[in-house]
Chain A
């Protein structure tokens, strides 16, 4: 079984499965906020730090297990008076919010304040995808949960590494089929009921909290949006609203690696409240493309639980049966039967930002 990589407010925790169950095996960067970690096909790990004083940093661990700090994206010089640029958007890296690798080895990084960067040399150097950054439409994006927009989801098509879908809070879903030369917004069908009526369906202001594509069927995408859950079966050209019990609000979503109809969500009370419905942690699972859901509670706290699961904090193992998620209050749960039953692995971790399997 793969290791479990848990990024937290106070470091990176790696967990390993033994016959006795899951347990913490090692701790890295203790004391430093780790916003996310991603493994890549070459056996490396990339860890994104968000140092409170000294900025966002990136470390790479090679197959020998040695961590080394590598390069970070640097935004170009900001021209004065960029038309339509919001005052809060300073062209400077604040945070890594997505790191993904395509089958051609290209690393892609999504950031706050909304830039997409790529690296062809394992993160030593990065270049801004200027076609996306310089679009006038980009300046319509705004912050969701942060002062500035954040590009948090990158789905690289496993069939063709030039095709990417990226999602932005708040800036909709964008698609390129030429490795970032040109972009199309693809948010038709999404709506934002919280916006003024004439802006509800504006694709440029949609707030997808997290977007995942099914690895075996990459034209099927799921989005946990601020306003609900949306699913696309046509490579994001159109989106359909899905009703999820007990609430359509949440941040995280996971999709089965082979079955695009199977997905998991961790619902919460919407907007200002942001705690589990009835203070009971549940996972909602569909196996029929969103027509129906099971609300899974076994092993999860059902009284006075105030855990929020952040957008990168739900992980699906490539087996499709082993799942893990972590919460804002440092709880970590694992299921080995696709969510039917959960085991609490830890109740004492720092606030959990991201969970993935190594």
Chain B
């Protein structure tokens, strides 16, 4: 089952425990997390459902390609890491 982990910088704003979720794509995994914690959605995605400009997501150490659709595929044991992009200051 893929895992999703968030930067500790988000802990200043809301709890973000590491989660193991069902999901075949980045969006699927994130939606599973948001279903448990709706407040987290607006910290990671913009109003159109794309990754925020200054949020980065890595899957198994590689940055996601599809920042709008989040269609990047996950493997059975993929590790998804959500962090603040350094471009955000």
Contacts and interface: CB of A to CB of B under 8 A. Distances in A.
Nearest to A31: B12
Nearest to B54: A53
A91 interface: yes
Nearest to B47: A92
A90 B48 contact: yes
A52 B47 contact: no
A332 B42 CA distance: 33
A77 B47 CA distance: 8
B55 interface: yes
B46 A90 contact: yes
Contact of B55 (A54, A72, A75, A91): A54
B89 A52 contact: yes
Classify the interface of chain A: helix, strand, loop or mixed.
Answer: loop
Contacts of B44: 54
Contact of A54 (B43, B47, B48): B43
B54 A72 contact: no
Interface string B10-26: 10011000000000000
A53 B46 contact: no
Contact of B48 (A53, A72, A77): A77
Interface in A290-321: none
A93 B47 CA distance: 7
A205 B85 CA distance: 34
Contacts of B48: 75, 77-78, 90-92
Given A57-B13, A69-B39, A52 B46 contact: no
B46 A54 contact: no
A69 B38 CA distance: 13
Nearest to A93: B47
A58 to B, nearest CB: 10
Given A53-B85, A69-B13, A91-B47, 4 more contacts: A53-B52, A53-B84, A55-B52, A90-B46
Interface of A: 51-55, 57, 69, 72, 74-75, 77-78, 90-93
